[in-house]
Amino acid sequence: MHQSLRARTWNLLRNYNLHLKKRWGQNFLVSEKILQEIVDFSQLTSEDVVVEIGAGIGTLTKELLRVAKKVIAVEKDKRLVGILKDVLKDFKNVKIVQDDILKIKAIKELGVEDKNYKVVANLPFAVATRVIMGFLELENPPKLMIVMVQKEVGKRICARPPKMSKLSVFCQFHSKVNFLDSVPKRNFFPSPKVDSAILKIVPCKHTKPYFINLFSKPFYRRFSQVVKAGFSHPRKQLANNLSEAFNLPKEKAKKLIFENKISAKARAGNLTVADWIKLTKSLFLKI
């Protein structure tokens, strides 16, 4: 009799006598439907190299390996690495890396040589935003990211004015983001306290090469300064925040905002990424 993914997961954990670590966000996907959705959204071919973060017990890894050229499965927990080596022993196109993804400074450290790699992962909630931004800020970001994150985080990343945040601005500066599907907490074992979401993230370096000057370190550093200043007091009007952060007379800050066709009463959450880019260019030309 065919066992459900939930039953297979429970049995595997029991057979290995594995006690899960809540602080590491060890909640395993037990829905065949959602699992297939993730694979389908990834649009994998036999030429694709995939990086999976938090491979866990290999549930998603197996499905990726059946399609992709190679999967680099990154897992922090050495107990789970032992399970991965066992359950994936019949696959020749897998590389298992025991490491903390946040400590890896360059994609080459994972053994990724292909410039057109993809990231597909059910990300631990505690590190999801840092992992996403870490990959987006790489000199060679993935050509596609399909990631599962906490639903509220997914909404923040994909937000539009007037609900923009620092996170949405930085993610959307680097990429085109789409909220693909909600994933209720019942689809995991053990069930987390909150629902999840599947996001599609396509870095602009692959889709808009003419933006390359915007990704230069000097410009990005200035862009970051302006965005962080704007959101320093999110409920205050933007002019007040810029005036305070850059030691500008308030009237000069207001004029700068007006010249960029932004409302004088605007708050940081009202601005698009394009607005922040224009402000950065104007501000550093006029300071």
Which runs of consecutive H residues, i.e. helices, occur in 137-234? Answer: 151-157, 166-174, 204-207, 217-230
Find the helix or strand (DSSP H, E) in which 275 lies: helix 273-286
The verdict on 42 and 99 lying in the same domain is yes
The verdict on 12 and 134 lying in the same domain is yes
Residue 150 CA to residue 108 CA, distance in Å, equals 28
pLDDT of residue 210: 43
Using the 3D structure, point to which of 210, 226, 255 is the last residue of a domain: 210
pLDDT of residue 209: 47
* Total domains, the chain: 2
The verdict on 105 and 59 lying in the same domain is yes
| Residue type at 250 in one-letter notation | K
The verdict on 101 and 204 lying in the same domain is yes
Which residue numbers in the chain have pLDDT < 70?
Answer: 1-2, 21-25, 206-215, 286-287
pTM: 0.92
The verdict on 206 and 220 lying in the same domain is no
Residue with token string 């995991």: 188
Q: Is 43 left (phi over 0), alpha (psi -120 to 50) or beta?
A: left
The verdict on 164 and 73 lying in the same domain is yes
What CATH number did the domain enclosing 268 receive?
A: 1.10.8.100
Residue 121 CA to residue 108 CA, distance in Å, equals 19
Check if the beta carbon of residue 177 is closer than 8 Å to that of residue 132: no
The verdict on 228 and 192 lying in the same domain is no
DSSP single-letter state for residue 127 = G
What CATH number did the domain enclosing 95 receive?
A: 3.40.50.150
The verdict on 81 and 223 lying in the same domain is no
pLDDT of residue 1: 44
The verdict on 60 and 27 lying in the same domain is yes
* Domain limits for position 266: 216-286
Residue 46 CA to residue 67 CA, distance in Å, equals 6
The verdict on 183 and 272 lying in the same domain is no
Instruction: Name which of 51, 52, 50, 56 is nearest 30 in CA terms.
Output: 56
Find the helix or strand (DSSP H, E) in which 253 lies: helix 250-259
The verdict on 225 and 196 lying in the same domain is no
Residue 35 CA to residue 261 CA, distance in Å, equals 45
Residue 176 CA to residue 88 CA, distance in Å, equals 33
3-state DSSP assignment of residue 231: coil
The verdict on 182 and 59 lying in the same domain is yes
Using the 3D structure, point to which of 180, 210, 240 is the last residue of a domain: 210
